A and B are shown apart, each in its own frame.
Chain A
Amino acid sequence: MLKGHQSWLFANRPMITATGVTGGPFEANGKLANDFDLLYEDLWMGKESYEKAHRLLLEEAIKMALQKGNVQKEQVQFLFAGDLINQITPTSFAARTMQVPYFGLFGACSTSMEGLALSSFVVNYQGAKYVLTGASSHNAAVEKQFRYPTEYGGQKPPTAQWTITGAGVALVEPNEPGKQHPVTTSATIGKVIDMGLTDPFNMGGAMAPAAVDTIIAHFRDMQLDPSYYDLIVTGDLGRVGHDTAFELLNKSGLKLERKQFQDCGLLIYKDEQPVQSGGSGAGCSATVLYGHLLNQLKKGTYKRMLVVATGALLSPLSFQQNESIPCIAHAVAIEMNEEKG
């Protein structure tokens, strides 16, 4: 149900019944290694190209989610997924393997929440019984496309972010009262915001206003106060973007506490890992949400959370042609299903 200007309220509260999260070697050394279902020791993952490894990450995450949800792939109606590579081939090729009707999405690093919002919408209105949604990225494959060859000795400035290697997939089903699963309650779709920043090594700074815009729109549309959520987590703003977004939000009049406002890109790695400003990539918010954050939700650490995945909609071509970096953010609210009675 449309609420306000750009938000959906999911009255039927679709459930996330199972998730599958895969990661690479760098993530295995990170802070959240225990929240991954499958970690690869090698970036190649036994494949002959990074792009194929990228596909494998997503395929394995999908299999994991299906297995945990005890669902056969033939039962799944739709797959909403995407990644960062040209023409999202890794995701499309994984969809070929899975033989599930498929919507390919591109929202850069915001793909995870774009997918979750759409899946929840479809399930909420009985459009499907089982929907898979997810996003993935592979460090070497993405670096190769967006920056320099992985072995090139270019110096990354401290504002740069580290593209994570990983895939996060969720299985969304209609609500069954009493079942202890996380449910999505609402979503806000963001508009493209461009503040004229051009530095591709400072994505966080470019994406922060998009995140802020979407968060403000969410609270306006849902007529809520920030204290309603005990966690508002952004996708991959990194240190720079996160600080900027925090200041912008407080200036706008939304009263947020620092503890309540976190960032997936800052959660995933240890401080001593050489990731400069934090993690990024389509897989970043997907792996952290579907792994760590949902586990915390189930444990009761958090009651309600708003996940705001941010994406920088640039291509190597566009920034070479001196275009600025347009950005987008989508928000989905998640909480635990009410207990029976």
Chain B
Amino acid sequence: MLAMFFWAFVIGGLICVIGQLLFDVAKLTPGHTLSLLVVIGAILDGFGLYEPLMDFAGAGATIPITSFGNSLVHGAMQDAQAHGIIGVLTGMFQVTSSGISAAIIFGFIGALIFKPKG
């Protein structure tokens, strides 16, 4: 379990370093960088590489935004296996819904109770 924390730290940190290099060396905006990372996550899952990384690094792989792409593919694949090709459309958000709905809900609650501090 302690090894898990260690590897979560290392892998999570490294994914962030990739992001930082995209910021500073490739001079991408945060929006471009995050979009790119999500696409990379989706493609990695397409080759079946993201799941082992998640087994290995735990939150180090599930917390970075790359996992968003991964779980979108996952949801789509699950439904595709159950319902055929139409499942690709319908299953998309089955696994990821929590991140997006949490962001929407907490975003709205945030707007109700907070003011921007500047």
Contact = CB atoms under 8 A, between A and B. Distances in A.
The answer to whether A and B touch directly, with their CB atoms under 8 angstroms apart, is: yes
Interface of A: 43-44, 50, 139-140, 149-151, 154-155, 157, 199
A139 B24 CA distance: 25
B117 A151 contact: yes
A43 to B, nearest CB: 4
A140 B118 contact: yes
Given A43-B118, A157-B24, 6 more contacts: A44-B115, A140-B116, A140-B118, A149-B116, A150-B117, A151-B116
Interface in B1-53: 23-24, 27, 30
A140 B115 CA distance: 12
Q: Is the interface of A mostly helix, strand, loop or mixed?
A: loop
A50 B116 CA distance: 10
Contact of A150 (B23, B24, B27, B116): B116
A189 B27 CA distance: 35
- For A150, A151, A157, which residue has the most chain B Cβ atoms within 10 angstroms? A151
A199 B29 CA distance: 11
A154 B115 CA distance: 18
Nearest to B115: A44
Q: Which 6 A-B pairs have the closest CB atoms?
A: A140-B118, A43-B118, A150-B116, A150-B118, A151-B116, A154-B30
B61 to A, nearest CB: 21
B22 to A, nearest CB: 12
A157 B25 CA distance: 12
Contact of B23 (A44, A140, A149, A155): A155
Contacts of A155: 23, 30
Interface in B64-99: none
Interface of B: 23-24, 27, 30, 115-118
A154 B31 CA distance: 10
Nearest to B27: A199
B29 to A, nearest CB: 8
Nearest to A144: B116
Nearest to B23: A155
Contacts of B116: 50, 140, 149-151
B24, B30, B118 — most chain A CB neighbours (10 Å): B118
Contacts of B115: 44
A157 B118 CA distance: 18
A43 B115 CA distance: 11
A139 B30 CA distance: 21
A149 B115 CA distance: 12
Nearest to A165: B118
Contacts of A151: 116-117
A280 B27 CA distance: 22
Nearest to A139: B118
Nearest to B110: A151
A144 to B, nearest CB: 8
A43 B118 CA distance: 7
B47 to A, nearest CB: 31
Contact of B118 (A50, A154, A199): A50
Contacts of A157: 24
B54 to A, nearest CB: 25
A124 to B, nearest CB: 40
Contacts of B117: 43, 150-151
Nearest to B114: A151
Nearest to A53: B118
